[in-house]
Structure 1
Amino acid sequence: MAGEDSSSYRKGGKKMKMGRKAKEEYTGTGQKVSKHQNASVPEASFVRKQVDPETAKYFAEIANVIEGTEIELEERTVICGNALEEARGKEVELATDYIISHTMQTLLEGCSVDHLCGFLRSCANNFSHIAMDRSGSHVAETALTSLALHLQEDKETHSLVEEMLSALCQEIVVNPVDIMCNCYGSHVMRRLLYLCEGETLGSSEFHSSKPSVVLAERLNLRSSQLDGHKLQHHQKFPDQLKFLVSEMLNPSRVDIATLVVNQYSSLVLQTALKLLAGHEQELLHVIPVLLGFSTESALEGIEAREVKKILSLVEENAYSHLMEVILEVAPDTLYDELFTKVFRGSLFKMSSHHCGNFVVQALVSHARSQDHIMSIWEELGTKFKTLLEMGRPGVVASLLAASQRLQTHEHKCCQALAAAVRLENESTICIVPRILFLDSYFNSEENDSWNWPNGVKMHLLGSLILQSIFRLPNDFILQYISSITSLEDNHVLEASRDPSGARVIEAFLSSNVSTKHKRKLVIKLRGHFGELSVHPSGSFTVEKCFNVSNASLRETIVSEILPVQSALSKTKQGPYLLRKLDVEGFARNPDQWKSRQASKQSAYEDFYSAFGPKATNASQSESFLADTHHKSQQEKLKDMRKEIDTRLSYGFAPNSGSQFLAHPGSAKLKRSGNKQAPERAGFAKDVTDNGAFKGKNRRHKMENVSTATKNTKGGEILQGDKPSTVVKEKKRRRKDAF
């Protein structure tokens, strides 16, 4: 694939899939393995003894006792311990028996840590055989998971578990290749690595390799799991982890070339690298070994044939996954060496390959400096259209996100993307629709006559690209603003109904674009707010529309939701939206509702005039009041905005914005034991004096509002009849696209 000319990717071809494809088979691990790649390395034959009838009968009776009736916890522990005593010397045949293995799992979950370690100690010499068996692997994983739980519940078991881990590691490293390359054994090895690192039950989710999670991290939609892990890194058994990893990768004992291209051992190696994230010295030793060098200094004199070998290997499925993790965790110095001496100059060729393009995405996403982005831009900046035609939107999205993160080349990326989807003399109106439907547009026989396809699902990566676009400064995205605000009414409605399209609409309404442009888009949805509010993802869009609307538009939105109030209350997000928009209050007394909305707007304006950034015109002020954006100080102001909403929604100061932070007649703070309470009290008194934000020292006020905002997580800002929205409202969750 890498050697194919870009012209071979016909416009009508099916090249827009995001997954790795061609000549691959799915495995039970969630990744794929090439047909020409060995699924595993043959391990030495092992003959398992059959369980004798008397023992089989005993464990069948034990299964009936512990699974069929309610037993006291203490009694259950004793029964499980006694049963494991009876298993002494027969662990292998019992653990690998399809029926009895289930009972063994139950026993290992219910026994004491002493009996658990006794079981593992007794079968340590044969642990590898158990781990590589279809049934035995489940028993081995259960035993390791139970060890982690005991360690979590009782810290005094540390020395006992450490001794047990040392024995298991010593046994496994005698011949680690067999177990690492086995489809069952690789799972056990990963669980053992987690335990050595000190992870407890469920920790494997933390190191998730789900494509959606990886994609969200690469596009700045969520923080890296490894970044969070670095902050909480607490190895329980660092010596065992280092010993296990070093012996797994000892070139004198194992064939590294086999491990890096095998589907199952690659998963083990990826886990080891993630667990070592943040430990530079270990990574500086491990990564060169995986690349085929003995020391880090070998990269300095890397030869052309060695570079060619690595570039060839990234086209292998297992190796490409491994290289993605290497680029993610590599120390800055090592990343720079790999970038400049191995990959630079080959980025477009790699992007053309169905596996190699994922390595390019990782390389771009984890760029460490503006110089890296500059070099990447030189190779890929003029190739956006070709990349999209080949079905490589992930490379384009990664470059856009990385340029945004490192604050360089954002404008150039925006211009290149717009040029990739429109001809030089075409109107900018076509930009957003074509990115929303990347598949449809680039698979069309006649691009210049392409029209909005009705009933077609919008492209996930196209949506993510546009979401990134609308997080950029307005001056960079003028063409995109013009395009989205020029959409026909029915197209805006269709986008709002589609999970991916709705996220683009919401991103635009949450951007720094002027309120005038936002309302232009909201008006296109008039007459459909009711149906959108009961749509699975539509309530989020309706809320964003309400936030940016003026008084007249807000009244329109609520009046359209009123007929579907009953149906909306039965949806997941409905109750929140009904409270946020105060639909019940509108139904009860529209005039009073309008008065409260006017009070809120007045309070926002007073609040903004004192604490918001200086605006050069009214539109900037409106934009701030309508939707506070992502910056740290603005997040604090947004929390205060929620407080204003809550106070006025419950009827406080309906005709004035002067007392929006305090209940009438109560100027005292609710005592929460916080040392900052006196400052907060001073802030409340100052801002409510004479209905305006007056004071000689505005900087002092900013410190107070920051303090008050930080403390909303621990309790109310001011005493009143209702708790703060910041405390009361649970975080809303959604299941649609990012």
Structure 2
Amino acid sequence: MVAIGSKALPLRRHRNCDSIAKCSMAGEDNTYNQGGRRRNMGRKSMKKSKGPESGGAAGETHKSIQHSNNQEPSVPHTSFLRQQVDPETAKYFTEISNVIEGTEIDMEERSSICGNALEETRGKEVELATDYIISHTLQTLLQGCAIDPLCSFLQNCSKDFPQISMDRSGSHVAETALKSLAEHLQENESQSLIEVTLNDICQAIVVNPVDVMVNCHGSHVLRSLLCLCKGVPLDSSDIHSKKSSAVLAQRLNFKSSRSDGSGFHGLHQGFPDMLKLLVSEILKAAKKDIEMLQVDQYGSLVLQTALKLLAGYEQELMHAIPVVLGCKGNLIESNIVKRLLSLMKETAFSHLMEVILEVAPDTLYNELITKVFINSLFEMSSHHCGNFVIQALISHARSEDHVELIWKELGTKFKNLFGMGKSGVVASLLAACHRIHTHEHQCCQALIGAVCMENEPPRCIVPRILFLDNYFYSKDKSNWDWPSGARMHTIGTLLLQSVFRLPTDFIHAFISSMTSLEENHLLDTSKDSGGARVIEAFLDSEASAKQKRKLIVKFKGHFGELSVLPSGSFTVEKCFDVSNVSLREVIVSEMLDVQAELSKTKQGPHLLRKFDVEGYAKRPDQWKSRQTSRESVYNDFISTFGSNTTKSSYKDANSTHNRSKSQQEKLKDMRKEINTQLSSSHTPFLANKPFKSSGQKRHSDGNESRPGKFTKHANEDVAKSKQKSHRKRKHDG
């Protein structure tokens, strides 16, 4: 029977603290959260995130990371002779496992037991970490110990860290140790000790990094080490995510993209100087093996991570990217262009090239597009791997000149690309044109020409784009009809969402096609997740109110049915927002029949509260009065503050280019604030009274909120504007 307590399993030798006492400890950082074990890393989206980035004392400590002089690259091999754990040690760690996993222990006592047990690993770290059973116990110890024994363990086994990382069991131990280091970074007086520990590990890695890079287990550990040096959470979706939806959102301007290194989620203080030096030494050691690493699945992943983490460090990227591309100098030589184009048809390198295009400094991007991609865009777009590289190239275009170059080669090829199933290239080009405000009208015309035969009415445009592959793969396109029950094409729906973000003058045909949809087809569209977003995009577009209501009227009799559906509920909400009072009454009256069912859905309570369904059921007249007040206040605001650029149509097609983004956001926020203030089901809004200039408002649900951004001064500004107009008229008279 094993006693429980800090003295239950004493050390079999005295603990030596000398090595730890040598390190002074100072600094503070934030925690990482490591999730499940992910072996692959895919396309990412970046969002702006806050956090200082400083190396602290790193500049002094890890200057000692050096690559062995004149060391020849070895042929990667990862097998080693596994040493068996002696029976006495195995028994000791079995007892430790029973103690720490079988009974409740307070945190301080647990930490002491874990620290004592880690002391028993000295000299046997490799055997214990690579043992299938004991490695699990070792992970628990590393998670539960204090910073001193954790760093002591890692420093003792630092020379063997690459070997441990490449083992199936050992890699889990290595990653757990790195995660624990990251968690301790949030504690005061721990950064210097952690920095010294990481420096020891990095020195061991750069001796022969290729072995670690091409090993499926070692690759993941090395990527975690790079993330730790950067200050990025070890399970960051920015690094490890491979969701195509996130990539599409970024490429089609639905999600912000940052390539300056500040867009990582949860970015905390790390060791940037150590990161730069580590990547530099890895590339220096791997330079002769770069051709193999470019096409190796795991080697490519390490290179991708390294480049992503260097985003924003232009000088380092200007040196690193040519090495990764296989250039001899810092410029792209003409003799490697053909090889690069061939490599882009390989899965591993195509992913690597996408990252290069994302993080490349402007001068290097310009060199790539003018030297490597010129005259090869359509050929690459036709390839199942290469087309993703072209999408990345287009999405990260930096100027009108770049778009012009791309347009010359691809602008007349939309129909061909759709026919080959490469619609993502078209979608990326449309998004790039919209982002840089060039070739938008030409892009819309090319899109129409790709799906419409000559002299066909525009009503066919939207259905054919919604079912893009279904239409293009049909043998008899002239007799193609709406395929009832078929799932809508993902890229097709995203294309239409992008289209409806463009100025009205460019999209008249698309608006006409949208409003020409038959009632049953429109209902099918609203029940498809992608199709519903197309409807919402149309209702958010700059189409006129009359055109929007022409579409909304077709939903009559189906608002209740749609409101209980996950995607349909958002469509109903959007219809309500842009409808006049009479249409809103139709929507709410139809929702009364499904009120009980709607209250049980995720979105239902929100809709019932926002639309004030209960208030309408009890006092329809008061409900209509509030809705009329809402519309009146909003119309007064628009008439006062609106300009020609805020109307639904534009006399000048270029006026959209000069629109103030803050103005658009201001109008949107104002309408949202008006809607909020008028959503109360308990007290009617006083249409003839001004907004309160201070104090808190209480919503119908009883929650208090601060005054809105514009509500505070809206009525005052309206009054001033009218007074000014009156004075002007008086003066003119």
Which one of the candidate residues 200, 203, 208 is aligned to 1:167?
200
Q: Secondary structure at the residue paired with 1:373? A: helix
Distance in structure 2 (CA, Å) of the matches to 1:431 and 1:223: 29
What's 1:102 paired with? 136
Return the letter of the residue paired with 1:217: Q
Aligned residue number for residue 572 of structure 1: 602
1:419–1:630 CA distance, 2 compared to 1 (3 A): farther
The structure-2 alpha-carbon separation of the partners of 1:531 and 1:616, relative to structure 1 and needing over 3 Å to count, comes to closer
Partner of 1:20: none
The answer for the alignment partner of 1:623 in structure 2 is none
**Structure 2 CA distance for partners of 1:237 and 1:655, relative to 1, 3 Å:** closer
Note the C-alpha offset of 1:524. Answer: 0.9
Residues in 2 aligned to 1:239 and 1:681: alpha-carbon distance in whole angstroms? 48
Match of 2:221 among 188, 201, 221: 188
Partner of 2:162: 128
Counterpart-to-counterpart distance in 1, 2:211 and 2:256: 36
Give matches, 1:484-499, under 5 Å.
484-499=514-529
Separation in structure 2 between the aligned mates of residue 48 and residue 442 of structure 1, nearest angstrom: 58
* TM-score of the two chains, using structure 2 as the length reference: 0.83
**8 A Cα contact 2:41 2:239, kept in partner:** no
Alignment deviations for residues 385-427 of structure 1 (CA, whole Å, 9 cap, x no partner):
0001001000000000001001000111111111111111211
Q: In structure 1, the residue corresponding to 2:351 is in which secondary structure?
A: helix
Do the aligned residues in 2 keep the contact of 1:652 with 1:659 (CA within 8 Å)? no
29, 44, 51: which one aligns with 2:40: 29
Question: Does 2:389 match 1:378?
Answer: no
Q: How does 1:388-537 map onto structure 2 within 5 Å?
A: 388-537=418-567
Q: Which residue in the other structure is 2:254 paired with?
A: 221
Residue type of the alignment partner of 1:611: F
**Distance in 2 between residues matched to 1:655 and 1:464, nearest whole Å:** 39
Q: How does 1:553-572 map to 2 (within 5 A)?
A: 553-572=583-602
2:304 alignment counterpart: 270
Note if contact 2:143-2:180 (Cα within 8 Å) is conserved in structure 1: yes
Task: Please give the secondary structure, in 2, of the residue aligned with 1:658.
Answer: coil
Give the C-alpha shift of residue 687 in structure 1: 5.2
Q: Could you tell me how far apart the structure 2 residues matched to 1:54 and 1:584 are?
A: 74
Question: Matched residues in 2 for 1:62 and 1:132: separation?
Answer: 26
Distance in structure 1 (CA, Å) of the matches to 2:500 and 2:359: 29
Alpha-carbon distance between aligned partners in 1 of 2:595 and 2:243, rounded to the nearest angstrom: 38
Q: Structure 2: state its 5+ residue gaps.
A: 1-37, 44-73, 651-658, 698-705, 727-733
Deviations 1:142-174 (A, max 9, x none): 1011101101x2142111111111110110111
Deviation per CA, 1:521-567, whole angstroms, max 9, x where unpaired?
Answer: 11111111111111011111001101111111110000111111111
1:644 to partner: Cα distance: 2.1
Distance in 1 of aligned mates of 2:237 and 2:550? 46
1:509 & 1:51 partners in 2: Cα distance? 68
- Residue matched to 1:115: 149
2:212 corresponds to which residue?
179
CA RMSD of aligned residues (A): 2.7
Residues 644-676 of structure 1, C-alpha deviations (whole Å, 9 max, x = no match): 2233332698475232523xxxx64459xxxx9
User: 2:683 and 2:490 mapped to 1: Cα distance?
Assistant: 45
- Preserved contact between residue 114 and residue 145 of structure 2 (Cα < 8 Å): yes
Q: Which residue does 1:286 correspond to in 2?
A: 320
Structure 2 contact 690–715 (Cα < 8 Å) conserved:
no
Aligned pair 1:56/2:90, yes or no? yes
Mapping of 1:620-699 within 5 angstroms? 631-650=661-680, 654=684, 656-659=686-689, 661-662=691-692, 668-669=694-695, 683=713, 686=716, 694-696=722-724
CA–CA distance in structure 2, aligned partners of residues 221 and 527 of structure 1: 32
The 3 A distance-change label for structure 1 pair 643 and 53 is same
Q: Which amino acid counterpart does residue 384 of structure 2 have in structure 1?
A: H
Selected match of 1:588 from 618, 626, 635: 618
Does the C-alpha gap of structure 1 residues 206 and 155 become closer, same or farther in structure 2, counting only changes over 3 Å? farther
1:641 alignment partner AA: R
- Which residue does 1:241 correspond to in 2? 275
Q: Which residue of 1 aligns with 2:701?
A: none
Distance 1:51 1:251, change over 3 A: closer
Distance in structure 1 (CA, Å) of the matches to 2:406 and 2:223: 34
Q: Which moved more, 1:160-169 or 1:47-56?
A: 47-56
1:215 Cα offset (Å): 1.4
Q: Deviations over 1:80-107 (max 9, x none)?
A: 1111111121111211122221111111
| 1:593, distance to aligned residue in structure 2 (A) | 0.4
Aligned 1:688-727 pairs, distance under 5 A: 694-696=722-724
Aligned counterpart in structure 2 of residue 208 of structure 1, from 229, 237, 241: 241
Q: Distance in 2 between matches of 1:428 and 1:253?
A: 56
Distance 1:547 1:144, change over 3 A: same
Contact 1:606/1:693, CA 8 A, preserved across alignment = no
The one-letter code sitting in structure 2 at the alignment partner of 1:395 is V
For residues 607-622 of structure 1, the aligned pairs below 5 Å read 607-614=637-644
CA deviation string 1:455-499 (max 9, x = no partner): 111011101000000000111111111111111100000000000
Would you say the 8 A contact 2:327–2:336 is kept in 1? Answer: no
The one-letter code matched in structure 2 to 1:29 is N
SS in structure 2 opposite 1:571?
coil
* Partner in structure 1 of residue 58 of structure 2: none
Per mean C-alpha deviation after superposition, the further-off stretch among 507-516 and 603-612 is: 603-612
Using the size of structure 1 for normalisation, the TM-score is 0.82
- SS of 1:249's equivalent in the other structure is helix
Give the whole-Å Cα distance in 2 for the aligned partners of 1:617 and 1:537. Answer: 29
Cα 1:223–1:668 change in 2 (3 A) is closer
CA separation in 1, counterparts of 2:482 and 2:696? Answer: 56
Report the Cα distance in structure 2 between the residues aligned to 1:400 and 1:221, rounded to whole angstroms.
Answer: 13
Letter in 1 for 2:601: T
Query: In the aligned structure 1, how far is the partner of 2:649 from the partner of 2:353?
Result: 48
In the alignment, the residues of structure 1 paired with residue 263 and residue 232 of structure 2 have an alpha-carbon distance, to the nearest angstrom, of 13
For CA contacts below 8 A with separation 6 or more, give which structure has more relative contact order.
2
* Alpha-carbon offset, residue 125 of structure 1: 1.3
Q: 1:149 aligns with which of 183, 197, 208?
A: 183
Pair 1:544-2:574 in alignment = yes
- Secondary structure at 2:320 match in 1: helix
Report Cα offsets for 1:485-515 as digits up to 9, x if no partner.
Answer: 1111000000000001001000000101101
Matches within 5 A, 1:56-95: 56-95=90-129
Q: CA deviation at 1:596?
A: 0.6
Matched, 1:345 2:356: no
- 3-state SS in 1 of match to 2:284: coil
Letter in 2 for 1:574: G
User: How has the CA–CA distance of structure 1 residues 187 and 511 changed in structure 2, closer, same or farther, with 3 Å as cutoff?
Assistant: same
How far apart in 2 are the matches of 1:188 and 1:85?
23
Partners of 2:110 and 2:144 within 8 A in 1? yes
Match of 2:56 in 1: none
Q: 1:242 to 1:227 in 2, by over 3 A?
A: closer
Q: Report the CA distance shift for 1:267/1:149 in structure 2 as closer, same or farther (over 3 A).
A: same
3-state SS of paired residue (2:79): coil
Q: Distance in 1 between matches of 2:285 and 2:137?
A: 40
Residue equivalent to 1:709: none
State the one-letter code of the partner of 2:190: T
